[in-house]
Chains A and B, each alone.
Chain A
């Protein structure tokens, strides 16, 4: 049973436009959500995160929105640039007092930015 779902395996967006990547989760114990970006043959690179006490977090061109009631989060990239082409993973964790649990990842969305 997948606890973190990214239902779009791929997404193609024109350069300069907005990219919106979506993620759904089922485990109500998750209290921290992260987005990672991954290039081929590299490890995932941390992009942006959001705590469950917030509904929005912004960092430059990247904004993450969290809708707890719908168990849904999204990553917005504005404007999209060619270097944004990569696989994006949504991840979630629960803090268990002694430290952050391991992350539960979605399967990823391959974002392609077209010139």
Chain B
């Protein structure tokens, strides 16, 4: 069974530029999560989707971050404009219905210069 797929794996941009990350969850997993992990810290939740509905986006900085999960499968996380403090690893995870176990992708490492 294929795991969670994320792209790109690495991204370097200049501040004020836009950037987008893509995630394909494990097939059949209806719950999808985006996390941000800063250096030396554990991952922190940004947004949770149940199918195509964002059920928890309370930690998403909505002035510059946006996300979508069209058709309840793939998801895209966007930052516009990026700031220096956005440099981090952005992780996508998914879980099947009724399960509390989340499976993570390899992450996208973002560096904002």
Chain A interface residues toward B at CB < 8 A: 4, 32, 34, 36, 41-46, 49, 89, 91, 93, 95, 98-108
In the bound complex, how far is the Cα of B41 from the Cα of A4, in angstroms?
12
**Chain B residues, Cβ within 8 Å of A43:** 4, 6, 91, 93, 104-107
Please indicate which of the listed interface residues A99, A101, A108 has the most CB atoms of chain B within 10 Å of its own CB: A99
Q: Which range holds the interface residue count of chain B?
A: 20 to 34
Please indicate which of the listed interface residues B41, B44, B48, B100 has the most CB atoms of chain A within 10 Å of its own CB: B100
CB atoms of B100 and A49 under 8 A apart: yes
CB atoms of A34 and B33 under 8 A apart: no
**Chain A residues, Cβ within 8 Å of B101:** 34, 46, 49
Closest beta carbon of chain A to B13's beta carbon, Å: 19
Q: Could you pull out 12 A-B pairs where Cβ atoms are within 8 angstroms?
A: A34-B100, A36-B104, A41-B106, A43-B107, A49-B100, A99-B48, A100-B95, A100-B99, A103-B35, A105-B41, A107-B40, A108-B42
Closest beta carbon of chain A to B8's beta carbon, Å: 13
Closest B residue to A45 by CB, please name it: B104
Q: When the two chains form the complex, which single residue of A34, A102, A106, A107 contacts B56, counting CB atoms closer than 8 Å?
A: A102
CB atoms of A103 and B40 under 8 A apart: no
CB atoms of B106 and A102 under 8 A apart: no
